[in-house]
Structure 1
Amino acid sequence: MMFDLPDDETLYAALLGRDPAWDGRAWVGVSSTGVFCRLTCPARKPKRENCTFFDTMGGAIEAGYRACKRCHPMAPAAEGEPAVKALLAALEADPARRWAEGDVAAMGFELSTVRRAFKRHFGMTFLEMARLARLRAGGAELVGGASVIEAQMEAGYASGSAFRAAFAGWTGLAPGAFVKDAVLRADWIETPMGAMVAVASEGALHLLEFTERKALPAELAVLRRDAKGSLGFGRFGPTDRIEREISDFMSGVSAEFVTPLRPLGTPFSREVWRALRMIPAGETRSYGQLARDMGRVDATRAVARANGANPIAIVIPCHRVLGEDGSLTGYGGGLWRKQKLIELERGFAAQINEMGEK
């Protein structure tokens, strides 16, 4: 897990020094280029605020980063595994190809062996790796205004129905369900911790989630029903605004969010989400503490459920809630992100303390 690695300053120093001791143990995602690298990469070193560190290559891929073509971070894993080497080369040669188990077997590789090898080295299967890359490419085309057919071709799907089914499996909605001139519009936001989906109306932000969150399809379906089907691709002013605020937040500039929010939820859930926003950056609460702060001492479990149902990550800071024993507990964006968010906010708290002492 990410929180078993040393602190980011140690890893950044290793990146600057191209320390070979970290090969195969840590990787860096660079938000300004969208690639992930080995810490020994010979490329020009990125700024500290553009770096996110991972303990698996799979984590970097799931967060939206692609492999660097200078240091070839996946190459060391491939060198000792002929199947991995051959399949990665085939994927690089034809990234739009729709892979199936039969294609892997046709290359003479045993499926279970390939599955274990990719899981061990990358934290995901080869088929999952290929599928994620293609769907992201197709999604980017749709956001840019391309037709479903154009997005399908970019994603490498020969069958329109197959592309629609795969896209629906990822987002919960077929690409044709997203309409033009919609009252709610979805777009991608790139962050140092991976790509996020933002859904906004002209006046407010309705959803902000990391793209691989398992609850995303259900959340998008709820928004679409509430908007009577009027959900499309694109962005309004609140998306531009939250993109700037998230950038400032992750760069350590500001922990203040003023973008208007309009999350869908029950009155009790919205009460919990308001209480979450009252927790100062750099501080944490347990579910029980949060319930007591709300005057709901007997509602700890209900508070926990509302916390987990939060549709606006980071801005409504459900990551600030820990287990009673101080453990990280679950987080839809991944525990490694929860740890990094808490560590980032400790920096904001330290800045505030320093200002108070002056």
Structure 2
Amino acid sequence: MNLQNSLLPPHAEMVRAMLERDTSYEGVFFTAVKTTGIFCRPSCTARKPKPENMEFFAGVNECLAAGYRACLRCKPLDAADSAPDWVQGLLKSVDAQPDTRWSDAQLLAQGIEPLKLRRWFKQHMGMTFHAWLRARRLGQALDGIKQGETIDGVAFDSGYESLSGFRDAFQKSFHITPGRAANSEPLLFTRLTTPLGPMIAMAERRGLVLLEFLDQSSLRPEVEALQSRFGYAVAPGHNVHLQQIGQQLAEYFAGERKVFSVALHMPGSEFSRQVWAELATIPYGQTTTYGAIAQRLGKPGASRAVGLANGHNRISIVVPCHRVIGADGSLTGYAGGEPRKAFLLRLENAPVQLTGQLAF
């Protein structure tokens, strides 16, 4: 499937995205280079070819069928931004040995270069490996306090030599004192890989609270709002809801799932929750408009308010705000980027003719 018969963004837009390494196009298309015989992701860091030597495809199978081989740098055959084997092995070791401090000497003994590890975690987790470890230990301490353990006990179990040091780190991480932790709600997060790039999933005991692409500019304000408005204590970790969304998201992108069953918990204003509930009823492969949602809510003049609430949806894909389009058939805004929105609608075979720049 080449550019002429595939459902792809305009040629000029793909050239721009490739030259600028635009991550919002991750998984939307792949670039094949005629002079080298390889194909890459849009975000590949290799030296860029001349536009006249580029050829674009919708998927890796089309690239391979055309005789191209995968780039060894960006590895387009892997899930987008998936953790390399050496990182995955380290994460398994951390799970198996949660009390290990993991000094640079220990990392080197495992064949892991500390600086390389630091760079990977900063790029993909937004923090260094050691900062991630501290956050993980503090999350375990928070859980211990919630379970009735003493602050002194969890402080020393977490590896802190002084209670004051533990209190300072705890408050800096969770924006609450350890004494107030028993009344807070832990919000655990993990990183998920998808064909459209890495996502972050956050869940508490009642269900999934957030699912967003990691490169979204709105992500940090959303997390800060969850901490300040709803009292969440955010820490890396795992629970049943995070395990479910990881599995169900993989099934969705493989075309094997149309309905998500993971439990959701969506704190917000009454009107926002009404809008989000309506979003959740939009069937797979169908679209609607802000005006139609306002009509169903009995507020026909509230299209703009519906649009704002739609934009504040924190759970991408599962609460399908990508199925809401403009009254003129245009894509309209999408926090994850309009290329991703077009990809998701293509994936679902949505019967809609879009008139915007990314029409398909």
TM tier relative to shorter chain: 0.5 to 0.7
Partner of 1:3: 9
For 1:223 and 1:11, how far apart are their aligned partners in 2? 34
* Alignment deviations for residues 250-284 of structure 1 (CA, whole Å, 9 cap, x no partner): 10001111111111211111111111111111111
Answer yes or no: is the 8 Å Cα contact 1:29–1:51 preserved in 2: no
- Does structure 2 conserve the Cα–Cα contact (< 8 Å) formed by 1:2 and 1:336? no
What residue number does 2:69 align with? 41
Q: Residues 28 and 39 of structure 1 are in contact (CA less than 8 Å); yes or no, is this contact kept in structure 2? A: no
**1:295 Cα deviation from its structure 2 partner:** 2.1
Is the Cα contact below 8 Å between 1:27 and 1:39 reproduced in 2? Answer: no
Q: Which residue in 1 is equivalent to 2:133? A: 146
Q: In 2, Cα distance between the equivalents of 1:230 and 1:313? A: 21
Equivalent positions of 1:10-21 (< 5 A) are none
CA distance in 1 between counterparts of 2:220 and 2:239 reads 21
Does structure 2 conserve the Cα–Cα contact (< 8 Å) formed by 1:183 and 1:227?
no
Q: 2:123 aligns with which of 115, 125, 135?
A: 135
> What does 1:2-151 align with in structure 2 at a 5 Å threshold?
3-4=9-10, 24-26=54-56, 40-42=68-70, 64=81, 134-136=122-124, 139=127, 141=129, 146-147=133-134
SS at match of 2:235: strand
Taking structure 1 as reference, are residues 11 and 199 closer, same or farther at Cα in structure 2, changes over 3 Å only? Answer: closer
What TM-score results when the alignment is normalised by the length of structure 2? 0.55
The answer to whether residue 173 in structure 2 is matched with residue 177 in structure 1 is yes
Larger helix percent: 1
Rounded Cα–Cα distance in structure 2 between residues aligned with 1:175 and 1:336 = 39
Query: Which residue is 1:165 aligned to?
Result: none
**Equivalences for residues 132-211 of structure 1 within 5 A:** 134-136=122-124, 139=127, 141=129, 146-147=133-134, 176-178=172-174, 183-211=186-214
1:205 to partner: Cα distance: 0.5
Deviation, structure 1 residue 206: 0.6
Shift of 1:289: 1.7
- The match for 1:239 is 242
Letter in 2 for 1:240: Q
Q: Relative to 1, partners in 2 of residues 1:40 and 1:142: Cα closer, same or farther, differing over 3 Å?
A: farther
Deviation, 1:324, is 1.3
Equivalent residue number for residue 344 of structure 1: 347
Residue 291 of structure 1: CA displacement?
1.4
Query: Could you tell me the percent identity over the aligned residues?
Result: 31
Aligned counterparts of 1:346 and 1:142: Cα–Cα separation in 2: 44
2:290 pairs with 1:302: no
Assess, with a 3 A threshold, how the Cα gap between structure 1 residues 139 and 256 changes in structure 2: closer, same or farther. Answer: farther
- Partner SS, residue 230 of structure 1: strand
Over 3 Å counting, the alpha-carbon distance change for 1:42 and 1:193 in structure 2 is: closer
SS at match of 1:200: strand
In the aligned structure 2, how far is the partner of 1:328 from the partner of 1:216?
21
Q: Residues of 1 paired with 2:208 and 2:71: CA distance?
A: 37
Distance of 1:132 and 1:331 partners within structure 2: 28
CA RMSD of aligned residues (A): 4.5
**Within 1, Cα distance between the matches of 2:67 and 2:220?**
35
Match of 2:330 in 1: 327
CA contact (8 A) 2:259 2:284 kept: no
Structure with more relative contact order (C-alpha pairs < 8 Å, separation 6 or more): 2
Q: Give how far 1:131 is off.
A: 8.4
For residue 133 of structure 2, give the secondary structure of its aligned residue in structure 1: coil
Cα shift at 1:223: 1.4
Deviation at 1:183, TM superposition (A): 1.4
The Cα offsets for residues 8-30 of structure 1, whole Å up to 9 and x where unpaired, read as xx978989xx6889953548898
Q: CA deviation at 1:95?
A: 11
Q: State the shift of 1:66 in Å.
A: 9.6
Q: Shift in Å at residue 286 of structure 1?
A: 1.6
1:64/1:288 Cα in 2 relative to 1: closer, same or farther (>3 Å)?
same
Which whole-Å CA distance do the structure 2 matches of 1:95 and 1:28 have between them? 37
Q: CA deviation at 1:132?
A: 8.8
Which residue in 1 is equivalent to 2:252?
249
Residue 166 of structure 1: aligned partner = none
Q: Structure 1 pair 198/298, CA: closer, same or farther in 2 (3 Å)?
A: same
